């Protein structure tokens, strides 16, 4: 199902009104880019006795600039242990749900990723870190350098700002 125009803007407005604003910059080993396509993301964070559990559900709209012509959704988790001060080390997992590409008449497989994550909380408003996820299951498009279908292989540096 594709949401277009006013419906997408209204949904984004409701999400922005109900949740704190968040920007995320992702840098791959060979390129850096800003995530600018519309998305709705619901996150939960729970800190308990030196453990940090985060869950995420995401729906992204199609984007011509990313050559991604289908709406995508996924969910993930991260379980980390505090190792020194505000530094966290742990595991992450992410699943990209199956998607239907109406233009090509194809269904993309569900893809599963897992790997290590190192995070640092610079303040209440800034989180930085590194993640290295590998595709465990699902065909879809190959995760090759230069491809923007699926999660690219290798380490990712990220910074998340809450404002």
3-state helix, strand, coil in the chain (%, to 5): 10, 55, 35
Q: How would residue 65 be classed by pLDDT, with cut points 50, 70 and 90?
A: low
Which among 81, 87, 111, 114 has a CA at the least distance from the CA of 99? Answer: 111
- Whether pTM > 0.75 for this model: the answer is no
SS3 14: helix
Distant-in-sequence contacts of 9-14, Cβ < 8 A, 24+ apart: 11/40, 12/38, 12/40
* pLDDT tens column, 28-47: 434 444 555 677 888 888 88
Q: How confident is the model at residue 6 (pLDDT cuts 50, 70, 90)?
A: very low
Residues 77, 91: Cα–Cα separation, whole Å: 8
Highest mean pLDDT (candidates 37-41, 118-122, 136-140, 157-161): 118-122
């Amino acid at each position: 199902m594709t949401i277009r125009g006013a419906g997408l803007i209204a949904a984004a407005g409701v999400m922005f009104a109900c949740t704190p604003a968040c920007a995320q910059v992702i840098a791959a080993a060979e390129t850096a880019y800003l995530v600018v396509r519309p998305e709705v993301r619901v996150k939960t964070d729970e800190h308990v006795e030196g453990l940090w559990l985060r869950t995420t559900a995401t729906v992204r709209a199609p984007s011509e600039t990313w050559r991604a012509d289908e709406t995508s959704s996924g969910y993930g988790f991260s379980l980390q242990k505090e190792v020194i001060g505000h530094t966290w080390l742990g595991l992450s997992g992410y699943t990209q749900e199956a998607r239907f590409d109406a233009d090509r008449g194809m269904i993309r497989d569900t893809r599963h990723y897992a790997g290590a994550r190192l995070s640092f909380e610079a303040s209440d408003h800034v989180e930085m870190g590194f993640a290295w996820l590998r595709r465990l299951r699902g065909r879809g498009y190959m995760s090759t350098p230069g491809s923007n279908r699926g999660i690219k292989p290798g380490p990712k540096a990220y910074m998340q700002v809450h404002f």
